[in-house]
Amino acid sequence: MNVMDSLVTIFVFMFLLGTVSSKLSPKYYQKSCPDVLSTVHDAVSKALSDEPRMGASLLRLHFHDCFGCDASILLDDTTNFTGEKTALPNADSVRGFDVIDTIKSQLEIICNNTVSCADIVAIAARDSVSILGGPTWTVQLGRRDSTTASLSDANSNLPSPFSDLSTLISSFSNKGFTAGELVALSGSHTIGQARCTTFRSRIYNDSNIDTAFANSLKNSCPSVGGDDNLSPLDETPVDFDNTYFKSLLQNKGLLHTDQELFHNGSTDALVTSYSTNSKKFFSDFADAMIKMANLSPLTGTSGEIRSNCRVINGS
């Protein structure tokens, strides 16, 4: 082998080594922080015991952090950038930051500067679903944290609760998701609550809504005022089950986007299937969550491991 061949071989080996080392793995912290999973699980269990609604909030935090899953949503505003917390889909809505802070503080004690905030968010979402009776899945680990955030990206990447089905399908397709995966991920609305401002137009203007259901919501969500008043997304807001899909069959979807999934469209059949087959929903939801969490993460030497999830290192 001549010198040039040797150099090429070395470069190829180094490239492959870098590629492999930057991949996510469920065993990423096996040696560097072996107690990471139990630490996160215990903290999430306590948070949900104190407030069951927090499970939906932690799951939603993960959704809104992706597509990218880089903990950018956790960053506070700075003089250099406006963060994502004040984006229209997030302002006065996304929560759970204190729980992530608590977990991060605990992990910094047992394995300093090792576990990323992005991985904490991903694990906390999985544990929230499982604790509330839903499926579990293997979380791939090794994400790194972003060193910036983008208000404009958050506003443009997250679909509006007023979107129609074609817009939803297009939005998810742009990120590599099928219409079926859109339906499965929308099943996350089987837990949690929504603010009046997100469903007011539906209960007062939509025609594909059960009349009694709409009327029952108008006391807590008047036509004017009460924007922050909450209503459950389905009848079992702290149980991860398939009640959400059963509600859609009765035209009782709380959000306009919820009912769009069952409104004489291409996703009707899958909604019907999930309404009678929770096992299939759980399996498809878990698979879609794994796919979502693996969308363009920062790995290897990209980004950083934040010491405080709210600020970049050195701030």
Burial of 301: CB neighbours in 10 Å, binned 0-12, 13-18, 19+: exposed
Residue pair 114/107 in contact (Cβ under 8 Å)? The answer is yes
CA distances from 83 to 76, 79, 96 (A): 6, 10, 16
Enclosing H/E stretch for 56? helix 54-65
Q: Does 263 qualify as catalytic in the annotation?
A: no
**Residue 65: Cβ within 10 Å count:** 25
User: E strands of 168-229, at which residues?
Assistant: 193-195
Burial of 5: CB neighbours in 10 Å, binned 0-12, 13-18, 19+: exposed
Enclosing H/E stretch for 161? none
Choice among 64, 189, 256, 263 that is catalytic: 64
DSSP assignment letter at 67 = T
Q: List b or e across 79-105, with b for residues whose CB sees 16 or more CB atoms inside 10 angstroms.
A: eeebbbbebebbeebbebbebbbebbe
Q: Which residues are catalytic?
A: 64
